[in-house]
Structures are given as C-alpha cells and as structure tokens.
C-alpha cells in the first residue's frame, strides 16, 4: 500500500533552518531514507509538505481510503491546531507524530501536543531517524498482515 510522509510549516527549510537543532539533512534526504525503509515491505511513499494548515487538512482527508499510514511532522501546528486534530480524528488511517527535536527539552509552549491524543504514537527527539523508525513500524505491520 501507500504510506504518506507529511510535513508541516517551515520543514521545507530543513537542512538550512536552525541546523544546531534540526541538523543538516534536508527533507529530500528524509524522503529518500523513508522510501528505502518502506520498499522491502512493498509500500510506496507519497511525500508532501505544506506551510498551510488548510492544505495539510485536505491531504489528511484524502488519505482516508488511499493510504495505510501517515508519518506526520506537524511543525508548530502541533502546539496550536485543533483543526488538524479534528482532521486526524475524522479518518481511520493510523498517524504517527514525529518531531526531530526533543520538544520537551525546549520552550514550554512546545511541551504540549494537541495532536498526540488522536495519533497512534509519537516519536520525539531522535533527529530525522524518527521518520525512519515510523516507517519501520508501518513496514512491520504490513509484514505481519502478509503472514
Ligand atoms: C518540530 C518541533 C516544533 O516545535 C517546531 O515548531 C517545528 C519542528 C520538530 O520536528 O522538532 O517546526 O516539529
């Protein structure tokens, strides 16, 4: 099936943006690594990024019935967006929330996720490897279904 890699605001600047916090690798590097991880499980990657809340909401809606899982870094919308939370609640596709940085070590306003309660799980603070670990999770699920 398909797995969606979804990135929110400012993540198009990954690699250039605050590299001391987010590292030097780009979103293209992330997509390549995730794709390599999904391939043995016969998953295809759909990679999308937007700086616009409404566009992210539209893509989450479109995921229903078309993808088997979403790997989602919502950026700062994590801490603010009831609308994204409602979008995730409106679909039955499992969503894994990923944060590159350890949000709990940072400013207080990053400690709360409005989305985590409606996600399958959350991976935080492991750098871009967090995206890969989410891909490993979806791959292992599909191997289990094949058996
Ligand atoms: C982030 C953490 C958010 O607090 C921040 O607004 C981001 C990136 C992360 O991946 O660590 O844009 O989601």
Catalytic residues, which ones?
22, 99
pTM of full prediction above 0.90 = yes
Point out the residues of the chain with pLDDT beneath 50.
none
Dump pLDDT digits (tens) for 89-102: 999 999 999 999 99
Structural domains of the chain sorted by starting position, each given as residue range(s) with its CATH number in brackets = 2-146 (3.40.50.9100)
Closest C-alpha residue for ligand 1 atom 12: 75
Contacts (Cβ under 8 Å, ≥6 apart) of 107: none
In this structure, are residues 104 and 6 in contact, taking their beta carbons and an 8 Å threshold?
no
Binding residues for substrate are 73, 79, 86, 100-101, 110
pLDDT digits (tens, 9 = 90+) for 70-82: 999 999 999 999 9
Exposure b/e, 49-66, CB count within 10 A at least 16 = b? bbeebeebbebbeebeee
Q: Is 76 near ligand 1, meaning CB less than 6 Å away? A: yes
Query: ipTM score here?
Result: 0.99
- Does the beta carbon of 100 sit less than 6 angstroms from any atom of ligand 1? yes
Instruction: Give me the pLDDT at residue 142, please.
Output: 75
Centre of ligand 1 from the C-alpha of residue 143, in Å: 31
- The finding on whether 63 has its CB within 6 A of some atom of ligand 1 is no
Q: Is the CB of residue 43 below 6 angstroms from any atom belonging to ligand 1?
A: no
Looking at residue 22, its pLDDT comes to 96
pLDDT of the residue at 146: 63
For 125, other C-beta atoms within 10 Å of its C-beta total 13
């Amino acid at each position: 099936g398909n797995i969606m890699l979804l990135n929110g605001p400012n993540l198009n600047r990954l690699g250039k943006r605050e590299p001391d916090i987010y590292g030097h690798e780009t979103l293209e590097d992330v997509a390549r690594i995730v794709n390599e991880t999904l391939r043995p499980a016969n998953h295809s990657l759909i990679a999308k990024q937007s700086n616009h809340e409404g566009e992210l909401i539209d893509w989450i809606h479109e995921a229903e019935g078309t993808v088997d899982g979403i790997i989602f870094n919502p950026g700062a919308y994590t801490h603010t967006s009831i609308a994204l939370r409602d979008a995730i609640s409106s679909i039955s596709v499992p969503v894994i929330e990923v944060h590159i940085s350890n949000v709990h070590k940072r400013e207080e306003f990053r400690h709360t996720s409005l989305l985590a309660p409606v996600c399958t799980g959350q991976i935080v603070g492991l750098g871009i490897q967090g995206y890969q670990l989410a891909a490993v999770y979806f791959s292992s699920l599909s191997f289990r279904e094949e058996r």
